[in-house]
Structure 1
């Protein structure tokens, strides 16, 4: 049973989603996204994150999901590399969202490992970024990419604060720090 809490003002800080895999060849039919898991997510009123979306078999699955009416804006496809133009068209037409995982795609060697930014934009999808396998990869930019420096494009470590802990009235100063490497 799911108990709904009152919605906070503004966007939610945390969302619950159903995690699935793209095809049964990855982890068997019980975890592969399809009508049954889509129904579970709909009954719970939650979105779906589909991992391991890459290649021909995922392209075929995407076309099947579109035909079955279970590809929609509540579905996020993770990776989305090596997909056919027809799959991208179906994703764009249904409002499906995409989370690209460029660091793990390259490390694991998924398809070409080239993030599908152009494909997503051509289909009318604004792609998001995924940290993907956070249990085996560092989850911060500085731990993945190196120390934070002004030239690396990292944001300041802390916003300036005044004596009472609120915003500072003085011009902001920037300190660049990086957490210790594991």
Structure 2
């Protein structure tokens, strides 16, 4: 399975937190590009799964660091919603046996709850992560895509499917720009 290159790991990542060198090529270094500090441009649909075409546009920041000796990472986010800013965190862990990542979202407005984990991997420079969840009482599939990854930028997209994955509605896009 192709994996994301580790050559683009940020100089902003503290050396003492850097993961051990990935000599296995199994995917554990796929998120190494993300270590450091980022400015984030958000676009989020105002209404999800309602046929809405109105987007809120807002900013934020994100700081990412490795954990578990390179088998995971955590990020701390400030999300500047039009109605008021909040904090959130993402926890990612890698399972060498399955060569898959698990991703959990923790919303600071409800920190006692952790979202259903997304699971997936990178292939040809694109990360695809899926889970089944419930939104407004409806069973849905959720997809995260990581793409457009460079040393200084990346894109994350979230999409929902109410029909088992036949049709996807992208409802949140985050464009990351590395802080200098």
Which TM-score tier does this pair reach, normalised by the shorter chain? under 0.3
In the superposition, the TM-score normalised over structure 1's length comes to: 0.26
Bigger Rg, structure 1 or 2? 1
Greater fraction strand: 2
Structure number with the bigger relative contact order (C-alpha 8 A, sep ≥ 6) is 2
Name the one with the larger helix percent.
1
Please, what TM-score do these two structures have when normalized by structure 2? 0.26
